[in-house]
Amino acid sequence: MPDRLHPLLAEWPRCAGKPVKLQVSNSAVASLHRGHPWLYAERIKQESHRGQPGDLAVVFDAKKRFVAVGLYDPLSPIRMRALRASKPGPIDRSFFAERIRKALLRRRSLLQTQTDGYRMIHGESDGLPGLVIDRYAETAVVKLYSCAWLPHLSDCLECLLEQQPLARIVLRLSRGMKQHPDQLRGLEDGQIIYGAPIRATLTCRENGLIFEVDPLRGQKTGFFLDQRDNRARVERLAKGRRVLNVFSYNGGFSLAAARGGATEVTSLDQSGPALESSVRNFALNADIPAVAKARHLTIEGDAFKALAELVKQGERYQLVIIDPPAFAVRRSQVKEALNAYGRLARLGVKLLEPGGDIVLASCSNPVSPEAFRRTVCDAAAGVGRPLQQIEETGHALDHPLDFAESRYLKCLFCKA
């Protein structure tokens, strides 16, 4: 190993306390047996003592039989995140090494696709709930969702570095964790916890396309890795076409369309810095003849207003991509979110030449695939442009779906 983990982490006190013993409701037992790793505080009937974040918690059923062991977090409504269920066993370096090995093995096929920007660890779906690790070439970005990870992080990251050499690791903390600065012992969101500071723009490759990544100021951990396969599908639809990419961020779909042979690509986003990044990403890929040949335009503004304006101007495209941010994070927001998807679908089909393709995505977790599909289909039909040949897709393989709650992305490919 060329470097060492930041001393704050390397010297983080290990859990000294006894494991917390939890007796929980029958329904919680059943849910843990089914492999759901979250135990909510209100499902706990008895707690042996109040532990510290990161202490191990062992769950027993009414007959005092082992159910699960996991990370205890008294600061979170998710009081325990299970690491092992059904069979007891140690939670130590060899445990982390094995989970990481399995996760990296699942993603091995990506390495044959000129891709070094991908999610290495997808939390719950990779058996490490509350921990996400994205890789951008030689840099990893670790996103923690619970203070319970802090006492285990150095073990876990040392195992990762043994299997996947890296130049640096950046730490990102969830909003919930930032509310507990007393627990962080000086660790900060955005801190480099391993390796050299970031001195130049970081880049990664997705199916051979180069993108700049800003893990500190960018959205998510720097790039929307979950859309990789859908971008590849867009690339196959783009030849000879005029393309509109709405909510374009740093131009992921725009670059894919350009390499696929689009004559013109318009990136539309309300964020000026995101659009500037998309322009730089076109420049980074200018040695690809199709990218150099495609005309790239940007529109900065609110998508709803800008699309209405384009409709008014009589603009037409042969391929329209609409991949907005999450409109709903809670159930109570679903109705409003569906309204917004409906409006976008109506505007999108109005801008589409007959026989064109439209791609509509939703990353709103509480919006079901059925409700999303029905809403956009009804909206398009309502303006006389019914959607046809609908293909539904989801996340790329580095966002496995073992955990039902992680099934957030819905993407429809349609003709209209």
**Residues known to be catalytic:** 363
Half-sphere exposure of 17 (CA within 13 A, CB side): 17
Q: What span, in angstroms and rounded, lies between the C-alpha atoms of 172 and 163?
A: 21
Q: What span, in angstroms and rounded, lies between the C-alpha atoms of 387 and 414?
A: 6
Considering beta carbons, is residue 55 or 323 the nearer one to ligand SAH?
Answer: 323
- 207 belongs to the binding site for ligand SAH (CB under 6 A): no
- 253 belongs to the binding site for ligand SAH (CB under 6 A): yes
Task: Assess contact for 271 and 214: CB atoms under 8 A.
Answer: no
- 269 belongs to the binding site for ligand SAH (CB under 6 A): yes
- 271 belongs to the binding site for ligand SAH (CB under 6 A): yes
- 203 belongs to the binding site for ligand SAH (CB under 6 A): no
Task: Assess contact for 319 and 257: CB atoms under 8 A.
Answer: yes
In 3D, which of 279, 237, 242 has the Cα closest to residue 260? 237
- For ligand SAH (CB under 6 A), the number of binding residues is 17
**The one among 194, 224, 372, 408 contacting ligand SAH by CB under 6 A:** 224
Q: Closest approach of Cβ 325 to ligand SAH, in Å?
A: 4
Q: Closest approach of Cβ 151 to ligand SAH, in Å?
A: 34
**The one among 44, 193, 274, 338 contacting ligand SAH by CB under 6 A:** 274
Residue 160 to residues 101, 151, 164: CA-CA distances in angstroms? 8, 16, 6
Considering beta carbons, is residue 302 or 391 the nearer one to ligand SAH?
Answer: 302
Q: What span, in angstroms and rounded, lies between the C-alpha atoms of 19 and 312?
A: 65
Q: What span, in angstroms and rounded, lies between the C-alpha atoms of 249 and 218?
A: 10
Site for ligand SAH in 298-357 (CB under 6 A): 302-303, 323-325
Considering beta carbons, is residue 130 or 252 the nearer one to ligand SAH?
Answer: 252
Q: Closest approach of Cβ 227 to ligand SAH, in Å?
A: 5
| Residue 91: its H or E element | none
**Which span sits near ligand SAH by CB under 6 A: 52-60, 130-138, 244-252, 405-413?**
244-252
H helices of 238-351, where?
Answer: 252-259, 272-284, 289-293, 303-312, 334-350
Residue 108 tokens, joined: 């091995």
Type of residue numbered 32: L
Considering beta carbons, is residue 230 or 318 the nearer one to ligand SAH?
Answer: 230
- Binding residues vs ligand SAH (CB under 6 A): 219, 224, 227, 247-249, 252-253, 269-271, 274, 302-303, 323-325
